[in-house]
Structure 1
Amino acid sequence: MSLETVVEDIRDEARERAKEIRNDADQRAEEIIADAEADADVIVDEAEAEAEREIEREREQQLSSAKLEAKQMRLEARRDALQDVRQTVESTIADIDGDEREELTRALLDAAADEFDSDSEVRVYGRSDDEGLISDILDDYDGFEYAGEHDCLGGVVVESETSRVRVNNTFDSVLEDVWEDELKEISARLFEEQ
């Protein structure tokens, strides 16, 4: 064999080997591309699923937030309505006059007077507009004297230094007790929750 034939055989063999390497590389590249495409499909599916979960979480948060805001608005509206009712009641109580005011003031003073010893010097406070009424009523009580103004809707605040007792029998205190005791019923009637 001639040198040229050997060289040609080596070249043919090298070409054949290069062709095999290229075919193997192409096949390996196709496998890598197929694996990468499969991985990409999985990643896309996971990303879509995560996006759907995130959308659902966001929707639930917004829905929950809207429900909470609506509930707060209802509560605020109820609070405002109850405040309006309370102000109307206070105004109505403050406007009580004549015999009814005297009767109520006398009843509150009688209840307070039971808390004091008969020899106590007792000071009575009341609404400035009721000074004359209270002074007239106090004519019936020994040791009791009108001592000045108390900011209230009516009624009396009675105290004695000797017995260190102070009784708040104002219309305000009575209203507060009734309001606290009946708030649930008032609310149920106002908002028809029975």
Structure 2
Amino acid sequence: MSLDTVVEDIRDEARARAEQIRSDADERADRIVADAEADADDILEERQQAVEQQIEQEREQTLSSAKLEAKQMRLEARRDVLQDVRETVEQRIATMDEGREDLTRALLDDAATEFADDATVHVYGRADDEALLTDILADYDGYDLAGERDCLGGVVVESERSRVRVNNTFDSVLDDVWEDSLRDISTELFDER
């Protein structure tokens, strides 16, 4: 075997070895690239899921906030309507003429049961009802008109002797009726059947 042949065999072997190393390196590089692409795809999918989940959470929160705000606005509107109704009722009671004397007498009679033994009973009422109260009190011995009260009508009756005060104003009656009937009023106004 000649030296040229040996050198050529070594070169061929070196080339084959280099080709094998290059081929192994290419395969390894391809595997690394494939693994990196797979990892990138996994990371991308995870991020997309996280973003979609965050979007869904924010959508739910926004929807929930909007529903709560709408509910609060409805409640405020209802409260405003009920307040308007209450104010209208108060205005009508304050300006009513028909039945005012009978209602005032009934409230005074009811209060008078607390003061049966008292010699002097003080009655207070609305300033606009002074003449009406004076006429009514003429029928009651020991009862005097003692002053004004800021109210829609009716009477506040008290006696120094018994230390009792009875509030039989239209306001107090309206408060009781309003409280007892608020659910029915709301049902009627807002058709909650």
Determine the C-alpha separation between the residues in 2 that align with 1:142 and 1:32. Answer: 112
Secondary structure at 2:156 match in 1: strand
Identity of aligned residues (%): 72
Where has structure 1 moved over 6 Å in runs of 4 or more?
Answer: 1-12
Does 2:185 align with 1:186?
yes
Q: Which residue identity lines up with residue 26 of structure 2 in the other structure? A: D
Describe the superposition over 1:28-76 as per-residue Cα deviations: whole angstroms up to 9, x where unpaired. 2211111111111111112222222222222222222222222222212
Instruction: Tell me if structure 2 keeps the 8 A contact 1:126–1:152.
Output: yes
Instruction: Tell me if structure 2 keeps the 8 A contact 1:126–1:148.
Output: yes
Q: Which residue identity lines up with residue 47 of structure 2 in the other structure? A: A
Instruction: Tell me if structure 2 keeps the 8 A contact 1:120–1:163.
Output: no
Determine the C-alpha separation between the residues in 1 that align with 2:94 and 2:59. Answer: 52
Q: 5+ residue gaps in structure 1?
A: none
Q: Which residue identity lines up with residue 181 of structure 1 in the other structure? A: D
Name 1:21's counterpart in structure 2.
21
Instruction: Tell me if structure 1 keeps the 8 A contact 2:122–2:143.
Output: yes
Alignment of 1:84-123 (within 5 A): 84-97=84-97, 100-123=99-122
Instruction: Tell me if structure 1 keeps the 8 A contact 2:123–2:145.
Output: yes
Alignment of 1:72-151 (within 5 A): 72-97=72-97, 100-151=99-150
Name 1:45's counterpart in structure 2.
45
Instruction: Tell me if structure 1 keeps the 8 A contact 2:118–2:159.
Output: no
Determine the C-alpha separation between the residues in 2 that align with 1:104 and 1:117. Answer: 20
Instruction: Tell me if structure 1 keeps the 8 A contact 2:125–2:147.
Output: yes
- Per the TM alignment, residue 132 of structure 1 is displaced from its structure 2 partner at its CA by 1.7
Name 2:165's counterpart in structure 1.
166
With normalisation by structure 1, the TM-score equals 0.87
Secondary structure at 2:90 match in 1: helix
The total of aligned residue pairs comes to 193
Q: 5+ residue gaps in structure 2?
A: none
Secondary structure at 1:151 match in 2: coil
Secondary structure at 2:115 match in 1: coil
